[in-house]
């Protein structure tokens, strides 16, 4: 069984899209040793010639997003001669869209990365999210798209950053019984407020690992089972009293939690969504 592969990624732009496609596909396989050869900004045959030398020396799978026809044909012909698979990563989707829309795709390198309004909106969302992490600047929360509330170590910050990269201005606030959230949180009109919860066992485990990584005592109120359960109950009561939707992150990755939050956000925008639900 072949568990070692050379993966050649050729793009006429930054290669971000191609790298994400390759990463998503590789995640479906276990224990694969991957040697990536990353070739961005391939826009001339001279550049391609240098790359083909490396492909011949390290045969493997070739993935590409190249819109220049002559460069693309040369790559495909050379890979065919070498007996290597060459896959145009976006062709199937582009062809399907072309058929539905009744128009040809624009053969412009890097077109998907044009500095349009969506790009600047994402940058703005990231800047906003960083400035409103962990309860900061609560007087500006009304400007947010999403506000995440949760007890310590429920992945509020990484989930917020992931959402920001998707273009959502996201603030987050820790829910601490000894220090109730500011009244601002309960008066918000524009943002979707989402409560994050997790199981007590999982939370204790994560917190204990955190303490150990900081060389702190692993046995404190921070990881006391009864206090942790009371803390979670306190947070749930706040969510229920305010009719906020709840996301249980116990068995969810950051990406899965963010996807559930985005679904709630879209439902709220179109039909108001259901309040008080736990996902």
pLDDT per residue as tens, the chain (279 positions)? 468 899 999 998 878 888 888 988 988 888 889 999 999 889 999 999 999 999 999 999 999 999 898 999 999 999 999 999 999 998 888 888 888 888 877 666 555 554 456 777 888 999 999 999 999 999 999 999 999 999 999 999 999 999 999 899 999 999 999 999 999 999 999 999 999 999 999 999 999 888 888 888 777 888 999 999 999 999 999 999 999 999 999 999 999 999 999 999 999 988 654 455 666
pTM of the predicted protein model: 0.63
What pLDDT does residue 220 have? Answer: 84
What pLDDT does residue 273 have? Answer: 46
The span from the CA of 7 to the CA of 62, in Å, is 6
The H or E element spanning position 37 is strand 33-39
What pLDDT does residue 63 have? Answer: 96
What pLDDT does residue 151 have? Answer: 95
The angle at the Cα of 261, spanning 256 to 262, to the nearest 5 degrees, equals 95
136-154: buried (b, 16+ CB within 10 Å) or exposed (e) per residue?
eebeebeebbbbbbbbbbb
What pLDDT does residue 233 have? Answer: 97
Beta strands 86-88 and 146-150, pairing class: unpaired
Give Cα separations from 15 to 6, 9, 28, 59 (angstroms).
17, 8, 21, 20
The span from the CA of 213 to the CA of 75, in Å, is 48
What pLDDT does residue 3 have? Answer: 84
What pLDDT does residue 36 have? Answer: 92
What pLDDT does residue 141 have? Answer: 97
The span from the CA of 51 to the CA of 10, in Å, is 9
What pLDDT does residue 125 have? Answer: 94
């Amino acid at each position: 069984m072949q568990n070692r592969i050379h993966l050649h990624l050729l793009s006429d732009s930054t290669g971000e899209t191609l790298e994400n496609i390759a990463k998503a596909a590789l995640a479906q396989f276990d224990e694969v040793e991957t040697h990536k050869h990353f070739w961005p900004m391939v826009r001339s045959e001279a550049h391609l010639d240098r790359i083909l030398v490396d492909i011949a020396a390290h045969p493997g799978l070739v993935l590409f997003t190249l819109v220049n026809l002559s460069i693309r044909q040369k790559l495909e012909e050379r890979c065919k001669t070498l007996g290597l698979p060459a896959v145009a990563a976006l062709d199937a989707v582009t062809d399907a869209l072309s058929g539905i829309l009744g128009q040809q795709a624009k053969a412009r390198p890097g077109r998907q990365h044009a500095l349009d309004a969506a790009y600047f909106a994402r940058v703005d969302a990231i800047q906003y999210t960083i400035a409103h992490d962990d309860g900061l600047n609560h007087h500006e929360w009304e400007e947010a798209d999403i506000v995440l509330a949760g007890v310590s170590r429920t992945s509020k910050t990484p989930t917020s950053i992931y959402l920001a990269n998707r273009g959502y201005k996201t603030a987050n606030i820790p829910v601490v019984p000894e220090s109730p959230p500011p009244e601002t949180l309960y008066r918000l009109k524009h943002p979707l407020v989402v409560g994050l919860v997790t199981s007590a066992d999982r939370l204790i485990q994560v917190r204990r690992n955190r303490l150990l990584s900081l060389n702190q005592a692993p046995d404190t109120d921070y990881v006391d089972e009864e206090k942790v359960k009371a803390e979670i109950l306190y947070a749930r009561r706040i969510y229920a009293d305010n009719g906020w939707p709840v996301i249980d992150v116990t068995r969810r990755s950051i990406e899965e939690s963010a996807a559930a939050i985005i679904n709630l956000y879209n439902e709220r925008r179109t039909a108001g969504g259901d309040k008080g639900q736990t996902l």
